[in-house]
């Protein structure tokens, strides 16, 4: 065949990448791989190993060590031993180590890319041109954070020993996403790679050791789900960072409840890919190729739901089908291939089963007419069109090269369809009208939005989701904070709960009795009687009756959450407007300072001066959050591409708050104010023992222009109300400052919708100390960061 014929036919000849170096490395470990613990190679208990199989051929590449609880314990002990000296090395010392890791990755880039392609099945073009360069980028970027740590985060310290569990779809890249920030900030790591794809983690451990990383700083324990469970359960692990399925994420949330472990979860997705009628349709078609057929669709943020405006849908789908016909599926080491192999037979069977369900439910099936290899796990690029929003394939994550398409007529309908999912990871918006695209982006309930682009990633730009896609961020400043803890909370002592007072009768004789006044609940801007028509007495520490409050129940919480959900205009209000109302609340509270001080003194037996100081501190705290309301803003990232990424601090939604008994007014304000300052609406249960300060405060709210439903107050038994809030799937986050038992229950029961939790585990906060109870220590918990990518240029 001559050159002219190639140009005439535009056909491809095989372009295999050499795997000789990778094969030589595998041959050196022909007897089986060991765990890497404390800088040493540790053989598996009783010689237990399993096969690592090449998805493209079914060939056994290596034998991998099976970890057990004893192995995990040894790795955690090694990490604990190394953590203090690693942190004491200082930011500059750690920066130099991370810089060395970045350089080592670049030196071994081709070996890493080939091993990844062999082990995972993804095309060499992706591992070579995307995964490995991003790995190096993460180490370079986080070397910078290590260098700046003392100046940028002086009030925070490292979390400690981090247990990390990564998936099989991006084995090496997920390793870098997790260990780079952890190590940069002075933590040490025990990492468990996916059972299917452990090889690049083991190769990286060798490279890291050669680069001089101290023993015990990075430990690799391989194994199956039981190994991961042992890591999650280990009591000396301070944080779990998990990327994987939503089902396993729920199990981890339940397993860590009450343990005090920090937790970040990056879970599944069913991301919308929205094409408006003014989009560059040819560009959008290429976007679909990158969105769903990149890495064979085995991407948590894959654009697997294609939403096309009705007027251009026939033309767009026709263009997409023609483009599908040009895609090539084959051996991952062939540089001409667009799609490689599915990771394992079990995943291939899942894809086939879900596609069959989609067809049975009425979807039209179109598959690219491509030649598939005779061996290995391969699946053709697939389009299911005419899919109903409630169809199984529109709701369930397929995690394969399958896109489902639907149509919409108006922008509002596009948003409604896009948000019609229990997931909330990412979205793509395609329109030549940038105003339209930027109007749609904030309305999408996701953590990442790409404008006229898809699957853009960078170490400087946070990545993560909301709802059942998990919580927490990786990358960016917000990702760094996930591996730090506030110094002001480090020395908190367990809360000591005094026995409740015994009520004593106050003899009235024949004096004129005081008018009875029972404080009601405050729901939707109105005082409301409790559903059960029960009340509870409020006693002084000496047992003197001070009044009564309503006994809230499950239905009252339901009504309060509904009122908070309906008050979404508060989340859309300007930050300036929210600031004005917070100042107005402070003004009106200050005008009644003596009254509130008397109430606090009566409830707590505090001296009058101390009670008044609490009121004045609450006034100051409202002023502080009035100040923060329009100043805790996002940033503009400049990743290494022609474009920017807007990191927007968005309200979480409806936040449930359970207040402690100490400092009943100040703690109430300290928890409610940051939430509403950032645009959230709250359902708050005040101090169980001293609730009258909060019920008095709703009179302040009624006269301060606070919109109805923004703050809803339900009094009663804290544990019972916390349970209902934790179980309520329309509550987006839950803050619990109460007993250790209530904290554990809240975390355990939050798994239904995987709501974000902030709990104190029964540890006492000094509410008068601004370092422990005000400002940036709470504000990150009151927002979720949405990164909107905006490429520019032709």
Q: What is the DSSP string of 47-68?
A: G-EEEEE-TTT--EEEEEEPP-
Nearest to 756 by CA among 269, 301, 262, 421: 262
Binning pLDDT at 50, 70 and 90, where does residue 498 land?
confident
For the cut 90, the answer to whether the pLDDT of residue 512 exceeds it is no
Question: What burial class does residue 62 get, using C-beta atoms within 10 Å of its C-beta: 0-12 exposed, 13-18 middle, 19+ buried?
Answer: buried
Q: How much is the pLDDT for 641?
A: 86
User: From residue 487, how far is each of 482, 492, 693, 772, 774 by CA, in Å?
Assistant: 14, 10, 30, 9, 13
Section 347-371 average pLDDT: 96
Q: Residue 10: its pLDDT value, please?
A: 66
Q: What angle do CA 471, 681, 518 make, to 5 degrees?
A: 130
Is 301 in the active site?
no
- Of the chain, the percentage scoring pLDDT greater than 90 comes to 93
Residue 306 CA to residue 297 CA, distance in Å, equals 13
Convert the pLDDT of each residue in 571-623 to its tens digit: 999 999 999 999 999 999 999 999 999 999 999 999 999 999 999 999 999 99
CA Rg value for the chain? 28
DSSP-H helix ranges across 495-553: none
Choosing from 17, 116, 126, 300, the catalytic residue is 300
CA distance 695 to 720: 19
| Residue-wise burial string across 180-214, b where 16 or more C-beta atoms lie within 10 A, e elsewhere | bbbbbbbbbbbbbbbbbbbbbbbbbbbbbbebebb
pLDDT for 518:
81
The DSSP element (H or E) to which 724 belongs, if any, is: helix 718-727
* CA nearest neighbour of 565 among 716, 667, 396, 683: 683
- For the segment 253-273, the average pLDDT, to the nearest whole number, is 97
Q: What is the pLDDT of residue 794?
A: 66
Per-residue model confidence (pLDDT) at position 516: 55
pLDDT of residue 12: 76
- Condensed to tens digits (0 to 9), the pLDDT of residues 669-722 reads 999 999 999 999 999 999 999 999 999 999 999 999 999 999 999 999 999 999
Residue range 443-449: mean pLDDT, rounded: 98
Buried b (16+ CB within 10 A) or exposed e, 13-29: eeeebebeebeebbeeb
pLDDT, position 513: 52
Q: Which of 554, 522, 470 is nearest to 725 (CA)?
A: 554
Q: What pLDDT was estimated at residue 502?
A: 82
pLDDT band at 218 (very low <50, low <70, confident <90, very high): very high
- Reference 420, options 387, 452, 453; nearest CA is 387
Kindly tell me if the per-residue pLDDT of 223 is higher than 60: yes
Flag whether the pTM goes above 0.85.
yes
How far is the C-alpha of 520 from the C-alpha of 550, rounded, in Å? 5
CA 108 distance to own-chain centroid: 32
Where does residue 137 rank: exposed (0-12), middle (13-18), buried (19+ CB within 10 A)? Answer: buried
Chain segment 452-461, per-residue pLDDT in tens:
999 999 999 9
pLDDT of residue 14: 84
User: What number of H helices and E strands is found in the chain?
Assistant: 28, 32
Instruction: Kindly report, residue by residue over 304-351, the tens digit of the pLDDT.
Output: 999 999 999 999 999 999 999 999 999 999 999 999 999 999 999 999
Is 300 tagged catalytic? yes
Tens of pLDDT along 557-575? 999 999 999 999 999 999 9
Please calculate the CA angle 620-622-627 and round it to the nearest 5 degrees.
95
pLDDT exceeds 80 at position 28: yes
Sign, Cα dihedral of 236, 241, 245, 250 = positive
Cβ partners under 8 Å of residue 309, min gap 6: 275, 276, 277, 407, 408, 409, 414
Q: Is the pLDDT of residue 450 over 90?
A: yes
DSSP 581-637: HHHHHHHHHHHTHHHHHHHHHHHH---HHHHHHHHHHHHHHHHHHHHHHTTS--EEE
- For residues 607-633, b (16+ Cβ closer than 10 Å) or e, as one string? eeeebbbbbbbbbebbbbbbebbeebe
Is 231 strand, coil or helix? helix
Residue 537: phi and psi, rounded to 5, are -75, 150
Give the Cα separation of 625 and 631 in Å (integer).
10
Q: Average pLDDT of 381-391?
A: 97
Q: Is the pLDDT of residue 476 over 70?
A: yes
Residue 1: is its pLDDT beyond 60? no
Predicted confidence band of residue 793 (pLDDT cuts 50, 70, 90): confident
Active-site residue, from 116, 195, 266, 662: 266
- Residue 9, pLDDT > 80, answer no
pLDDT at 506 over 90: no
pLDDT band at 517 (very low <50, low <70, confident <90, very high): low
* Residue 40, strand partner residues: 37
Give mean pLDDT, residues 652-665.
Answer: 97
Task: Give the tens place of pLDDT for each residue, 137-173.
Answer: 999 999 999 999 999 999 999 999 999 999 999 999 9
Rounded CA gap, 525 and 710, in Å? 8
State CA 597 to chain mean position distance.
41
């Amino acid at each position: 065949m001559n050159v002219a014929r190639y140009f005439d036919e535009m056909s491809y000849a095989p372009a295999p990448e050499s795997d000789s170096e990778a094969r030589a490395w595998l041959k050196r470990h022909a007897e089986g791989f060991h765990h890497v613990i404390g800088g040493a190679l540790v053989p598996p208990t009783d010689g237990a190993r399993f096969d690592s199989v090449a998805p493209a051929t079914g060939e056994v590449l290596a034998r991998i060590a099976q970890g057990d609880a004893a192995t995990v314990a040894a790795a955690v002990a090694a990490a604990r031993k190394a953590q203090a000296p690693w942190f004491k090395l200082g930011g500059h010392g750690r920066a130099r180590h991370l810089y060395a890791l970045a350089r080592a990755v670049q030196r071994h880039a081709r070996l890493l890319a080939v091993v990844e392609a062999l082990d995972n099945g993804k095309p060499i073009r992706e591992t070579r041109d995307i995964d490995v360069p991003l790995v190096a980028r993460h180490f370079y970027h986080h070397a910078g954070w290590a260098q700046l740590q003392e100046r940028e985060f002086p009030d925070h310290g490292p979390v400690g020993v981090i247990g990390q569990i990564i998936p099989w779809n991006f084995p090496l890249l997920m390793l870098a996403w997790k260990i780079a920030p952890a190590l940069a900030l002075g933590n040490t790591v025990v990492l468990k790679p996916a059972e299917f794809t452990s090889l690049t983690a083991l190769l990286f451990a060798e490279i890291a050791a050669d680069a001089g990383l101290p023993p015990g700083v990075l430990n690799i324990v391989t194994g199956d789900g039981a190994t991961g469970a042992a890591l999650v359960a280990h009591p000396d692990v301070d944080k779990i960072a998990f990327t994987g399925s939503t089902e396993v994420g729920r199990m981890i949330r339940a397993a860590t409840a009450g343990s005090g472990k920090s937790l970040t979860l990056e879970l599944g997705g069913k991301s919308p890919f929205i094409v408006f009628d003014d989009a560059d349709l040819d560009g959008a078609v290429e976007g679909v190729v990158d969105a769903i057929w990149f890495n064979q669709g085995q991407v948590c943020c894959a654009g697997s739901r294609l939403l096309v405006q009705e007027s251009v849908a026939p033309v767009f789908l026709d263009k997409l089908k023609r483009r599908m016909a040009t895609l090539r599926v084959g051996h991952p080491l062939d540089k001409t291939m667009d799609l490689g192999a599915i990771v394992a037979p079990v995943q291939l069977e899942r894809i086939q089963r879900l596609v069959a369900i989609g067809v049975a439910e009425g979807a039209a099936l179109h598959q690219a007419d491509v030649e598939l290899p005779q061996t290995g796990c391969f699946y053709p690029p697939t389009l299911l069109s005419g899919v109903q929003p409630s169809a199984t394939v529109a709701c369930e994550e397929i995690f394969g090269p399958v896109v489902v398409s639907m149509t919409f007529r108006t922008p509002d309908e596009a948003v409604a369809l896009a948000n019609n999912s229990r997931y909330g990871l990412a979205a793509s918006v395609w329109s030549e009208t940038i105003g339209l695209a930027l109007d749609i982006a904030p309305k999408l309930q996701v953590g990442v939005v790409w404008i006229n682009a898809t699957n853009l990633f960078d170490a400087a730009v946070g990545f993560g989701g909301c709802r059942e896609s998990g919580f927490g961020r990786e990358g960016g400043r917000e990702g760094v904070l996930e591996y730090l803890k506030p110094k002001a909370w480090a020395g908190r002592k367990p809360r000591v709960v005094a026995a409740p007072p015994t009520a004593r009768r106050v003899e009235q004789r024949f004096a004129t009795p005081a008018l009875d006044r029972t404080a009601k609940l405050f729901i939707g801007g109105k005082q409301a009687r409790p559903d059960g028509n029960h009340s509870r007495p409020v006693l002084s520490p000496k047992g003197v009756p001070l009044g009564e409050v309503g006994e809230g129940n499950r239905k009252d919480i339901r009504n309060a959450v509904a009122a908070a959900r309906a008050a979404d205009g508060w989340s859309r209000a300007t930050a300036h407007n929210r600031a004005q109302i917070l100042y107005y609340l402070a003004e009106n509270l200050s005008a009644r300072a003596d009254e509130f001080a008397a109430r606090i003194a009566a409830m707590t037996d505090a001296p009058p001066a101390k009670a008044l100081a609490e009121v004045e501190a609450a006034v100051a705290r409202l002023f502080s959050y009035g100040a923060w309301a329009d100043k805790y803003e996002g940033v503009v990232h400049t990743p290494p591409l022609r474009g920017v990424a807007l990191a927007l601090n968005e309200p979480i939604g409806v936040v449930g708050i359970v207040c402690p008994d100490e400092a009943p007014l100040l703690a109430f304000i300290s928890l409610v104010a940051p939430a509403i300052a950032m645009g959230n609406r709250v359902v708050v249960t005040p101090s169980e023992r001293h609730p009258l300060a909060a019920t008095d405060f709703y009179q302040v709210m009624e006269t301060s222009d606070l919109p109805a439903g923004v703050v809803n107050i339900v009094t009663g038994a804290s544990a019972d109300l916390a349970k209902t809030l934790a179980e309520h799937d329309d509550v987006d986050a839950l803050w619990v400052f109460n007993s250790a038992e209530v904290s554990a229950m809240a975390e355990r029961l939050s798994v239904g919708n995987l709501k974000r939790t902030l709990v104190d585990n029964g540890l006492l906060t000094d509410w008068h100390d601004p370092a422990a109870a005000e400002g940036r220590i709470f504000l990150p918990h009151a927002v979720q960061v949405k990164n909107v990518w905006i490429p520019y240029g032709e």
